[in-house]
Amino acid sequence: MQTFAQANAGQRADQVGSLLRPAALKQARARFQAGEIPAEELHRVEDEEIRRVIRTQEDIGLQAVTDGEFRRSWWHFDFLKKLDGVEGFEAQSGIQFHGVQTRAEGVRVTGRVGFSGHPMLEHFKFLAANTKVVPKMTIPSPTLLHFRGGRKEISSSVYPDLDAFFDDLGRAYKKAVKAFYDAGCRYLQFDDTVWAYLCSKEQLQLARERGEEVEKLPRIYAEVINAAISDRPHDMVITTHVCRGNFRSTWISEGGYEPVAERLLGEIDYDGYFLEYDTERAGGFEPLRFLPKGKKIVVLGLVTSKTGTLEDADAVKRRIDEASKFAPLDQLALSPQCGFASTEEGNILADQEQWAKLSMIVEISREVWG
């Protein structure tokens, strides 16, 4: 079985995936949406900017690079609405963050959920063809198709019994994993806000109010994820990023990992876990005690992507040392707490500040792990 460190070329510096969209890309997308340029011209600009951002990642020393999610508007909806049986729709309101709402869009299940191909397979192939290091692909976790809308956004005529929905969801993602592997992907990441929401009293109450039996959800979600990744080949690494919300430098949930840590770290068969630790909202490092001894990795999100202020490197190293009291140092790594642009709007910081943070992470990882 390939380890996380092998997938990342032995390096302990990593990133979550999304990067700030350059001005040229934002302008091209706006012109395309206004009907001023054809899809071919937008695609050309995307290709050009992705090649450029790949080079920048390589130049600062990252050994696993992404396409910055430059072809996406949303980190999750763009993938989910291209699954069989799923469609996007204009919602009554956006997702509520602290002090700001997203665009009013959503996804709903209108047919049997399946996977029979996906545009992001080609996105990955372009990334792989244009990098000299490890191409990393990010997709939303299957949990996202249920938790946000719940029963309300899943057709009762198609799925009178949600057990059948979860079975189909696991099978669809299993096919997706195989399809990305067949396309050459050896490093796949499931991005997931749900495990953080399950640690939030506020989010749990909102779920109860819409009729969810929240006590059952951790087991259900763990089973779906394990079904999805159960047949991955021995040389494919699959990680997850647990997020508390990331839109225009704001957030949704708070609460430490204690309520889910034992199941998430011990019972779900991920190879690595990107855990946010940039603020007190994430709690302490104590839940890391549930990380099984062995090859699994926790990637500590100690550098925030929400502001441009550069962290003190010595302070970051002290926090790594603190985390190592609960999990072995050789099972830890370092990254930003989240991506820099989970949606195309991006967080509120400058391009050069983003690269300064990623460069510092590479430098710290070399000093700490060699």
98-113 per-position pLDDT tens digit? 455 555 588 999 999 9
Q: How far apart are the C-alpha atoms of 71 and 143, rounded to whole Å?
A: 22
The answer to whether the beta carbons of residues 303 and 316 sit under 8 Å apart is yes
| pLDDT more than 90, % of the chain | 75
| DSSP character string of 6-71 | HHTTT--B---S--PPPHHHHHHHHHHHTTSS-HHHHHHHHHHHHHHHHHHHHHHT-SEE--TTTT
Q: How far apart are the C-alpha atoms of 19 and 22, rounded to whole Å?
A: 9
Secondary structure string (H, E, C) spanning 201-244: HHHHHHHHHCCCCHHHHHHHHHHHHHHHHCCCCCCCEEEEEECC
Domain borders along the chain are 4-369
In order along its 370 residues, the chain shows pLDDT tens digits of 455 655 655 679 999 999 999 999 999 999 999 999 999 999 999 999 999 999 999 999 999 999 999 999 877 889 999 999 999 878 665 554 445 555 558 899 999 999 999 999 999 999 999 999 999 999 999 999 998 778 889 999 999 999 999 999 999 999 999 999 999 999 999 999 899 989 888 878 877 888 788 899 999 999 999 999 999 999 999 999 998 765 445 545 677 899 999 999 999 999 999 999 987 877 899 999 999 999 999 999 999 998 999 999 999 999 999 999 999 999 999 999 999 987 787 778 999 999 999 999 999 999 999 8
Q: What radius of gyration do the chain's Cα atoms show?
A: 19
Cβ neighbours for 205, distance < 8 A, ≥ 6 positions apart: none
Q: How far apart are the C-alpha atoms of 353 and 359, rounded to whole Å?
A: 10
- pTM (2 decimals)? 0.93
Task: Write down the CATH number for the domain with range 4-369.
Answer: 3.20.20.210
